[in-house]
Structure formats: structure tokens, C-alpha cells
Amino acid sequence: MKKLLYISLIILGAVAQTKGQAVLGKKVPNFTSMDQDGEKWSLRSNLKKADYLVIYFYPAAFTGGCTAQACSYRDQKGELARVGASVAGVSGDSPETLKLFALEHSLNFTMLADESGEIAEIFGVPHSEGGTIQREIDGTNRDLTRGTTIQRWTFILNKNGELIYKDSEVDAAGDSNRVLEYLSSLQ
């Protein structure tokens, strides 16, 4: 009897852990967020804008790896568009910090604020306490505080909202190349 109860608890725990989370081959639950311009952004309304939507999570704007990753997506926007992809970067930063980040690095794609980690939870991406960093932006020292620090993971959804790609071992500078290779293989 104890063994049956133990197995039941394991199964229930596994179901609870994936309930509402993105699963390869399944539709991702809809979510909304504020983008770098303070505009409301929803998954469902943005899925139809391209054949594929790349959603990449990163720890914090204005840090080395995160800047390299964002700039590589910026630089490869044309190539990604040719294979039918649009991009959204997600971090625990505020929309105001994301606006500064986008302006400072001429980012040409959507940046989404996930200050509470709710979007990260939908995708099963680990996250922890936020933090504050100081950066000089336009000659002014600023304290940039994020609500949560999200690990670096990347996902691709198709036009129907189904998760078709998941990378939990992302190399920041090489992430966009890896995504581009994958999407090119689908052509």
C-alpha cells in the first residue's frame, strides 16, 4: 500500500510540475507582458506575425553575455526573417530598463519584462531573486533593478503556438546562430 501511495505521489507531482507549462510538441499557454515601449504584448496576437517566434530568456540587461546575445539577434534579424522568424527577448528587468537597453544597443526586436518570473514559469525556466547593477548610460550613472534573475534558455514556437525547440544550455554569443541553423533545417 505504501508503495502504491508513493508512486501515486510521484505521478501527481510530475503532473503538477508540467501543468500550465510549455511542453515540446504542445501549445504554449497564452501570456501577456509589457514590452520595452511600455505597450502590452500578448503571445497569441504575436504568433501570426511570422512563421516562427523565437523566445529567449536571459538573466539581466546591460551585462556581458546578455548584451552579446541581444546584439547577435539584432545583427541576424534579416537572416532570421528570411527563415520566417521573429524574436522576443525576456528578462526580469523593468520595461524602463529594457527601453534603455534597446536604445543603447540599437536592438531591433521586442524585449519583454518578466519582473515576477511568471513567463519563465510557463516555460519551466529556473529563476531566482532579482538584483541591482549600476551602469553608466548616456553619461549618467543608473541603478538598474530587476525583479527576478532568469536563466538563459531559448525556445521556438510555430505559428500555431506549439513549442518546437527548446535549448536549456545556451551559449550567449552563439544562440542566434544555433537558432538560425535549426530554422534553416526546416526549410
Residues 6+ apart with CB under 8 A from 16: none
Q: pLDDT at position 187, please?
A: 85
> What's the chain's average pLDDT?
90
**Taking the model in full, what pTM does it have?**
0.87
pLDDT at 2 over 70: no
Q: Which of 66, 88, 144, 150 is catalytic?
A: 66
Phi, psi at 63, each rounded to 5°: -115, 160
pLDDT at 9 over 70: no
d(CA 40, CA 33): 6
66 tagged catalytic = yes
pLDDT tens digit string along 11-45? 333 333 344 578 899 999 999 999 999 999 999 99
Over residues 59-82, mean pLDDT: 97
pLDDT tens digit string along 127-185? 999 999 999 998 999 999 999 999 999 999 999 999 999 999 999 999 999 999 999 99
Domain 2-185 has CATH 3.40.140.10: no
